[in-house]
């Protein structure tokens, strides 16, 4: 190489080195600028911690005189805000309107982050960013349907293009009616985006269950599970972000060997999907049914929420209990049909979910089940009759499903829905005189709350028959003989709230011969009776609505199964409810006393009872102004002869003594107390979890002519394995 070329090459290398040095320096400077930007503190526009809005201006009444201290009167619980106050336009309810506008500020960061909740009504319940007189960004809460949550969640706008420009924020509430309000808090400028991003995780199914971590106070997220191009699950879940309070599960055994994609929108950087694991066993299998507050002789689901009993029927030695069920959380939502079977109404075995939604939002609401003994539907596949159920598909109408394997799996009728209307909760029964099936279903035609009756020869094609106003949700319809009156019977039409009418039913129309009556009071709702029982008993199970278990991975319970009867009384024919006779099989240790007055009760004979699970029976003579009190775990159960009232804690029912005597039967489980007065003339359900160690039991009487003639206490065994 010539010297000239060598010198040229040297100069070129030096130039390259110089450029590299400059480039490295530029990269370091750029990286340093990023680091510096990421280290800049957020600029708080408003945290709404003051009693007034300060320089913000309001119009209308929706935003009140200043930031709210959380939940306002008539509002569901508001959560997810920071500090002690927030913007809440529920002042005056959803009928109020107004605006809240910030003073001008300069945009100095690339992102504007905020907490937001409430209604999802663009332009009506929204927060808007105003730049140069125009709304350049807008955000709403997540809710536009009944239900939902008042929790605030993070939102974020990319505003880098407006850096250096003046702006204002306008919070708008111009919506009246459902979710006609907005909640806002903690508005900040930041170098980091605070919000949600779509995340995805893939896994090959190698075990029966997916274990999903739940955090009670986490926001509700939609989780989608996809196999290939098919969505196999889509549901709402409070997926754990900070901690896992408990695990729920999904049975994916039918997908073994397939690759699943699990998708959700989650906070930036969230690791929630990584916490989902595979296992062959249920979560916490060794402690299942042994949790601290688990009821021991009332049905509760393994995990998640339950409400209305559905599809109650008896077939080949099994009582089938289906029920409204959220398998993915402690609160209401994701309505499926859970399923359990029992040989004796007490010892239940939970089976896999019976009915799942066909798609997200098309939930499986309440319904009923029957045995199609003569295969009138043609659904039967062999000699055995099919089981047939009707349920409300919230996206379609009243639907029919059938089973040929003793209720273990269910097939949709190809021509569903069979009835389309504004309503829900179909109750099936066979009307022997007309040889037709009947569907009694809650109906909201012409803005009225009613029960409509439809009939069918084959459970497939249905004909509207009639309607009766004045009932709400979850109807039941059945015939009962009148005890002691040979040949007499009445039809009972029953609503979700426990109110019933007696009357006649000819397969087309219900004709009442009584006003609305009531047996059940308190924490009790949406009861249903079993179809096809072999001994002709009319057995009822209700939902113990409000019987909650805040510290447990399950929520709500079923009430104790009761046998219904009609009996003559001084007021006319009335329905009675008594716990099923099978309850006696749980008796273990027995205590009994006779003829107890004030002196005997003063020696506290009940102190020897230490059991947690109890059946208490008392028969007392109660004078006209007398009172009988049983203190059960700190809860007073009182019969007051003067007011003719039986009470259990906060609930009460009217009850008249029978020839000066009153009989009580009280059932005590870990989450409830149920009281039956005068052989089930009235019944009260109360949800209560006593303080730990609070198993005390005592009795007292008021009035010189009041005396307990018989007091029996049976300690009970658990029904769980």
Predicted local confidence at residue 3, as pLDDT: 37
Mean pLDDT, residues 683-695: 85
Q: By percentage, how much of the chain surpasses pLDDT 90?
A: 88
Residue with tokens 């989650």: 266
Predicted local confidence at residue 164, as pLDDT: 97
Residue 693 is given by DSSP the state T
Q: What is the mean pLDDT of the chain?
A: 93
Mean pLDDT, residues 623-640: 95
Q: Which of 94, 173, 250, 308 is catalytic?
A: 308
Q: Report pLDDT digits (tens) over 360-408.
A: 999 999 999 999 999 999 999 989 999 999 999 999 999 999 999 999 9
340, two tokens: 């359990």
Predicted local confidence at residue 447, as pLDDT: 86
How far is it, in rounded angstroms, from Cα 250 to Cα 6?
Answer: 73
Predicted local confidence at residue 64, as pLDDT: 97
pLDDT band at 30 (very low <50, low <70, confident <90, very high): very low
pLDDT band at 149 (very low <50, low <70, confident <90, very high): confident
Predicted local confidence at residue 2, as pLDDT: 39
Q: Is the pTM of this model over 0.75?
A: yes
> Nearest CA to 559 among 323, 336, 333, 292?
323
Q: Report pLDDT digits (tens) over 152-184.
A: 989 999 999 999 999 999 999 999 999 999 999
Beta bridge partners of 52: none
Mean pLDDT, residues 118-147: 95
Predicted local confidence at residue 268, as pLDDT: 83
Surface-to-core class of residue 413, CB atoms within 10 Å of its CB (0-12 exposed, 13-18 middle, 19+ buried): middle
Q: By percentage, how much of the chain surpasses pLDDT 70?
A: 94
How far is it, in rounded angstroms, from Cα 421 to Cα 418?
Answer: 10
pLDDT band at 38 (very low <50, low <70, confident <90, very high): low
pLDDT beyond 80 at 28: no
Predicted local confidence at residue 451, as pLDDT: 98
pLDDT band at 545 (very low <50, low <70, confident <90, very high): very high
Q: What are the phi and psi torsion angles at 589 (to 5°)?
A: -85, 135
Predicted local confidence at residue 693, as pLDDT: 67
pLDDT band at 241 (very low <50, low <70, confident <90, very high): confident
Helix H, strand E, coil C: the string for 321-353 is EEEEEECCCCCCCCCEEEEEEECCCCCCEEEEE
pLDDT beyond 70 at 441: yes
Rounded to 5°, the CA angle 248-561-616 comes to 105
327, two tokens: 């398998």
Residue 218 is given by DSSP the state S
> Nearest CA to 222 among 281, 188, 264?
264
Whether 284 sits among the annotated catalytic residues: the reply is no
pLDDT band at 217 (very low <50, low <70, confident <90, very high): confident
Predicted local confidence at residue 25, as pLDDT: 42
Write down all domains in the chain, each with its CATH number in brackets. 43-190 (2.60.120.200), 196-279 (2.60.120), 288-579 (2.115.10.20), 581-716 (2.60.120.560)
How far is it, in rounded angstroms, from Cα 410 to Cα 354?
Answer: 7
Which DSSP string do the residues of 278-304 spell out, in sequence order? EESS-TTGGGTT-STT--SSS---SSE
Residue with tokens 């947690």: 612
pLDDT beyond 70 at 4: no
> Nearest CA to 556 among 568, 566, 547?
547
Mean pLDDT, residues 285-310: 96
- Encode 380-392: b = buried (16+ Cβ within 10 Å), e = exposed: beeeebbbbbbbb
314, two tokens: 């008896």
Lowest mean pLDDT among 18-22, 55-59, 640-644, 651-655: 18-22
> Nearest CA to 159 among 105, 116, 107, 198?
107
pLDDT band at 7 (very low <50, low <70, confident <90, very high): very low
Predicted local confidence at residue 136, as pLDDT: 98
- CA-CA distances (angstroms) from residue 353 to 326, 399, 618? 10, 17, 41
How far is it, in rounded angstroms, from Cα 261 to Cα 230?
Answer: 10
Mean pLDDT, residues 121-145: 96
pLDDT beyond 80 at 19: no
How far is it, in rounded angstroms, from Cα 325 to Cα 303?
Answer: 9
Q: Report pLDDT digits (tens) over 571-594.
A: 999 999 999 999 999 999 999 999
């Amino acid at each position: 190489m010539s010297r000239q070329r060598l010198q040229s090459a040297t100069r070129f290398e030096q130039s390259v080195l110089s450029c590299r040095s400059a480039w490295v320096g530029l990269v370091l400077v750029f990286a340093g600028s990023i680091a510096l930007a990421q280290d800049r503190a957020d600029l708080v526009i408003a945290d709404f911690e003051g009693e007034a809005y300060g320089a913000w201006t309001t119009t209308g009444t929706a935003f009140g005189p200043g930031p709210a201290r959380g939940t306002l009167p008539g509002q569901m619980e508001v959560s997810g805000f920071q500090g002690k106050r927030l913007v809440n336009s529920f002042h005056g309810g959803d009928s109020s309107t107004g605006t809240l506008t910030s003073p001008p500020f300069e945009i100095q960061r690339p992102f504007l982050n905020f907490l937001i909740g409430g209604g999802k009504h663009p332009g009506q319940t929204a927060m808007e960013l105003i730049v140069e007189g125009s709304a350049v960004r807008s955000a709403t809460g997540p809710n536009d349907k009944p239900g939902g949550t008042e929790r605030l969640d993070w939102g974020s706008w990319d505003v880098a293009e407006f850096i250096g420009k003046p702006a204002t924020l306008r919070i708008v509430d111009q919506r009246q009616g459902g979710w006609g309000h907005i909640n806002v808090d903690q508005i900040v400028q930041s170098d980091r985006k605070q919000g949600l991003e779509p995340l995805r995780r893939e896994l090959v199914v190698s075990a029966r269950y997916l274990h999903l971590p739940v955090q009670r106070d986490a926001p509700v997220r939609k989780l989608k599970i996809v196999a290939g191009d098919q969505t196999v699950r889509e549901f709402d879940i409070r997926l754990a972000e900070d901690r896992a309070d408990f695990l729920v599960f999904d049975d994916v055994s039918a997908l073994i060997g397939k690759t699943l994609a699990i998708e959700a929108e989650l906070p930036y950087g969230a690791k929630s999907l990584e916490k989902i694991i595979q296992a062959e066993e249920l979560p916490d299998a060794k402690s299942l049914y042994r949790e601290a507050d688990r009821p021991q002789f009332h049905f509760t689901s393994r995990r998640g929420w339950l409400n209305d009993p559905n599809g109650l029927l008896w077939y080949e030695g099994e009582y089938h209990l289906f029920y409204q069920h959220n398998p993915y959380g402690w609160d209401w939502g994701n309505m499926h049909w859970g399923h359990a079977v029992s040989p004796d109404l007490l010892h239940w075995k939970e089976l896999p979910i019976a009915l799942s939604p066909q798609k997200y939002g098309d939930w499986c609401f309440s319904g009923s089940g029957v045995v199609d003994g003569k295969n009138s539907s043609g659904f039967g596949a062999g000699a055995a009759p099919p089981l047939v159920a009707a349920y409300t598909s919230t996206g379609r109408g009243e639907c029919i499903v059938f089973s040929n394997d003793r209720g273990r799996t269910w097939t949709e009728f190809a021509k569903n829905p069979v009835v389309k209307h504004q309503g829900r909760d179909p109750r099936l029964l066979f009307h022997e005189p007309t040889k037709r099936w009947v569907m009694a279903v809650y109906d909201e035609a012409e803005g009225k709350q009613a029960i409509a009756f439809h009939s069918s020869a084959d459970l497939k094609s249905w004909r509207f028959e009639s309607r009766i106003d004045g009932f709400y949700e979850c109807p039941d319809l059945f015939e009962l003989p009148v005890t002691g009156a040979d040949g007499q019977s009445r039809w009972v039409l029953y609503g979700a709230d426990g109110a019933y009418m007696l009357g006649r039913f000819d397969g087309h129309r219900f004709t009442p011969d009584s006003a609305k009556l009531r047996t059940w009071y308190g924490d009790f709702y949406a009861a249903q009776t079993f179809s096809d029982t072999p001994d002709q008993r009319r057995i009822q199970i209700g939902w113990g609505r409000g019987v909650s278990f805040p510290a447990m991975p399950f929520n709500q319970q079923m009430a104790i199964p009761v046998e219904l009867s009609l009996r003559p009384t001084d007021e006319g024919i009335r329905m009675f409810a008594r716990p099923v006779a099978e309850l006696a099989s749980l008796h273990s240790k027995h205590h009994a006393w006779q003829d107890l007055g004030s002196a005997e009760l003063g020696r506290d004979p009940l102190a020897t009872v230490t059991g947690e699970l109890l059946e208490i029976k008392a028969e007392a003579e109660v004078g006209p102004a007398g009172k009988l009190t049983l203190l059960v775990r700190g809860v007073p159960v009182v019969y007051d002869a003067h007011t003719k009232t039986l009470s259990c804690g906060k609930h009460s029912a009217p009850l008249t003594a029978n020839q000066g005597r009153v009989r009580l039967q009280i059932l005590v489980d870990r989450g409830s107390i149920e009281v039956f007065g005068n052989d089930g003339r009235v019944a009260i359900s109360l949800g209560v979890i006593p303080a730990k160690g609070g198993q005390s039991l005592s009795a007292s009487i008021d009035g010189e002519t009041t005396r307990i003639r018989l007091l029996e206490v049976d300690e009970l065994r658990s029904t769980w394995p």
